[in-house]
Structure 1
Amino acid sequence: MDKMIIALVLSFGISYFSTPLAIKLAHKIGAIDIPKDSRRVHKNPIPRLGGIAIFLGFFITSIFLVKIDIKMIGILLGAALIVGMGIIDDTRDIKPKTKLLGQIVAAVIVVICGVKIEFITNPFIRGISYLGILGIPITIFWIVGITNTVNLIDGLDGLAAGVSAISAITISFVAYISGQEISGILLLALAGGALGFLPYNFNPAKIFMGDTGSLFLGYILSVIAIEGAIKSAAALAIAIPILALGLPIFDTTFAIVRRKLNGKPIMQADKGHLHHRLLNKGLSQKQTVLILYAISLFLGLSAVLISESSLFEAVLILTLDVVFIYYGIIRLKLLSVDETEVE
């Protein structure tokens, strides 16, 4: 537990003091986000590359506190690839297919180094179902999918950093009570990096994390969730990371459905995300972000409760979550696929 607290504090400090340097670097190399379309909420040019500070917080803390074995080498190599690709994209723009290929390569690296979904807890037979060779494509799909879900919610000041920190803290708690101390340390190092960056990124933002940060956060969350939550002994272990990352997963899933129904490419950006819809209800950026924080916290607490529950209790919690989400959707009319309603 001491190492976990140190990880959170140390990473926070490194990220906090590195962010001003990232701002200077962004200005020096021209990594500036200029609002050039109606989808962007900000009105003035804002430097990007804040993800470098988050990465440094995580990387330096991990090197100091965690034994470097083959799995850790794979995680750090994959993270370095993701961050390097993000830096290039934040300065020059990379084609979506190229970014996807880079994410797949990063996922393959950690799989080769031994991080993969090998089994899932089967609550119906009260045992474990081994995946065999299927574990490899399932792992790659999970990592690439979650990497992109975090990237897609990075649309308001402080949103991706705050939601990622909540998710990381949630999964770290599950990892700790499951005896996965290393996963807990790494997740709190990630949370510390995101929280150290947040004072500069919360509305009005002085810097954006860019793809450098959002892709990195999603990548690390997805990779370490495999060791820290999916492999736990909980009756519905697979539900834990899905709930902890529920907000970006839900938003991305609906974005895919919405774009398919509107006959648009899945990778094409639009203004139909949850944060856009809440803004259209008349909420401010800060109000919208705080509401989405609250939703993430609610889902995170549900994930923690499920980790310590019997099958009946876990199903009951999931049912209550579904009712809560459905009521919120109907009440706020957040799931219209008509894009004219969210312009």
Structure 2
Amino acid sequence: MVEILFSLIAGLLFIFSLIFLGRELKVYGQQSFRRIKEESVPQLGGVGIVLTLLLSAYYFNNKDLIDFLIIASPLVIGGVLDDFLELTARSKLLFQFLSAGLLLSLKYDSIIWTTWNQHPIITSVLTVFFIVALCNSINFIDGLDGLVFGYFLAVLPILYLVPNELSSSVFLILGSILAFGFFNKKPARIYLGDVGSNLIGLILAYSFLTHKPLSGGKHFVILGYLMIFALPLMDMTTATIRRVIAGVSPFSADKDHIHHRLLKVGLNDTQVATVFFLVGALCSNVGWILVNDVEPLLKWSTLFSSTGVLLIILYLVFRTEGQLGKHISHFGRTLIETYVNIEKTDYDLPESHLHQAIILDLFNYYKELQRKGLPKVVTFVKDISGFITFKFKGARVMLLSSYSIAIILPSGDKWNKTETDLLKADFLRLTDKHKCSRLNNNEPEGLYFYQKEEFAIFYREMAKKNKSNINDNVNAA
């Protein structure tokens, strides 16, 4: 109890001070489509947790925690640099590799793979893999106020009950996390930042990698920890597969994580955080059963039943969100046709009528605004209509899909930088008015400029596709 109170009070003081320091230094969270937040918030929460743990480890002379913080030092340095300078994904990986290297150097004999007499190469590869996977998976779910805090709070008691080299430090970690959670509850006054998400990911990985087996098969130990970490690992796995299939970097940001999908089906931020806490608690308790010395039949039945429950929940979330997306698609087309002066799209314009053009893809804005209610979406579409009418007098306006609008100028072959910069600024002002999130590079999402030749090629491709669809429908009839 003394340890919790000490780290809690120290954490409150450190983090309270860092909130003001972060505002002075403007160390703010990125305004991107990944994080649901409308105002700038300092992202030095992880630094506050580290400072609290450093002071606590020194005061209580906790050697295990000191060793951990030494191993975590590259991640802390890399996180601070990222919070200030926005490092590339490769640079972040380098610091994760450095922490893994320190763990292998300082704690090789304590690593679980070594205690199981695994080959040094296998030990090294698996150690690096778990550290990188868990650090990045925590970063992936750090998208809502209180989300990582709630999940970690559910997992932390199990890390105390399951013997590892951080078990003696759990109360100190708990106090520092509670201090952060006090300032991170909605509306958040501070974020974890890259330091915090990497630190929590490393705490999870370190607890597993320094696990001290009691009895029972090693396969159950691995399955137990995988179950404890199931929620972030599941989110990271689905996100990685989704991005690879889409042909983009696995580290690129999007708004299709599990917590985003829960928001889309109607839950609010607090409810989503509660779901993560409850699922985290369920997975942690199942993991504890698997790691402990109980009957194998009980372990297998618990594993299969809990995995089935998780998969059913995941399926229902994805299915509900998909059905909702179809309704929104029809709704979006109806709104545009109602409020925007759209020409009939037959794709029969002669070449002489094809000039420079703009395509507006409103899909991400619809996904974001539909959570705020129908009136917000209607007002947004009305403002888009006003933007088109005021900025593009005499232009042809065509509906390409439920969310995409083509604006063909009455004349002109090429855009110049002055024109595009002014239009980007005007469009950003419109989206800012509706408190839509920005991309990391502050470029307007969904605003695409086409020179005359580029648009002519695009238009002809759309015409071919439209003709093919008509023929398919005729043949089907």
TM-score interval, smaller chain: 0.7 to 0.9
1:117 Cα deviation (Å)?
A: 3.4
One-letter code of the match for 1:258? R
Kept after mapping to 2: 8 A contact 1:58/1:186: no
1:102 Cα deviation (Å)?
A: 0.8
SS at 2:221 equivalent: coil
1:324 aligned residue: 309
Task: Summarize deviations over 1:263-317 as a string: whole Å, max 9, x none.
Answer: 2211111111100000011111111111111110111111122233222211111
Is 1:233 paired with 2:215? Answer: yes
Is 1:24 paired with 2:17? Answer: no
One-letter code of the match for 1:201? N
Task: Summarize deviations over 1:59-85 as a string: whole Å, max 9, x none.
Answer: 2223333553xx765522222221121
TM-score computed with the length of structure 1 as normaliser? 0.86
Identify which of 54, 62, 72 aligns with 2:57. Answer: 62
Is 1:144 paired with 2:129? Answer: no
Extract unaligned runs of 5+ from structure 2: 327-363, 368-477
SS at 2:144 equivalent: coil
Task: Summarize deviations over 1:41-98 as a string: whole Å, max 9, x none.
Answer: 1111111111111112222223333553xx7655222222211211121122111101
One-letter code of the match for 2:134? I
Structure 2 distance, partners of 1:118, 1:300, is 19
* Structure 1 residues 234 and 187, CA gap change in structure 2 (3 angstroms): farther
Task: Summarize deviations over 1:150-209 as a string: whole Å, max 9, x none.
Answer: 11110000111221232222121122xxxx5x5212233223221211011011111111
SS at 2:148 equivalent: helix
Is 1:106 paired with 2:106? Answer: no
Structure 2 distance, partners of 1:232, 1:329, is 33
SS at 1:272 equivalent: coil
Identify which of 185, 198, 203 aligns with 1:215. Answer: 198
Q: Write out aligned runs for 1:17-166 (5 A).
A: 17-33=13-29, 35=31, 37-68=32-63, 74-115=67-108, 117-119=111-113, 129-133=116-120, 134-166=122-154
* Structure 1 residues 336 and 136, CA gap change in structure 2 (3 angstroms): farther
1:19 Cα deviation (Å)?
A: 1.1
* Structure 1 residues 34 and 129, CA gap change in structure 2 (3 angstroms): closer
1:255 Cα deviation (Å)?
A: 0.9
- Overall identity of the aligned pairs, in %: 23
1:15 aligned residue: 11
One-letter code of the match for 2:207? I
One-letter code of the match for 1:28? E
Structure 2 distance, partners of 1:163, 1:47, is 21
1:124 aligned residue: none
One-letter code of the match for 2:215? A
1:285 aligned residue: 269
Q: Write out aligned runs for 1:284-323 (5 A).
A: 284-308=268-292, 309-323=294-308
Kept after mapping to 2: 8 A contact 1:169/1:188: no
TM-score computed with the length of structure 2 as normaliser? 0.63
Identify which of 191, 196, 199 aligns with 2:179. Answer: 196
One-letter code of the match for 2:111? I
> How many pairs does the alignment contain?
322
Structure 1 distance, partners of 2:57, 2:224, is 24
1:250 aligned residue: 234
Structure 1 distance, partners of 2:221, 2:102, is 25
Kept after mapping to 2: 8 A contact 1:201/1:208: yes
SS at 1:33 equivalent: coil
Extract unaligned runs of 5+ from structure 1: 121-127
1:129 Cα deviation (Å)?
A: 4.6
One-letter code of the match for 2:257? H
Structure 2 distance, partners of 1:50, 1:141, is 26
Q: Which has the larger radius of gyration?
A: 2
1:9 Cα deviation (Å)?
A: 3.3
One-letter code of the match for 1:312? L
Q: CA RMSD in A?
A: 2.4
* Structure 1 residues 335 and 270, CA gap change in structure 2 (3 angstroms): farther
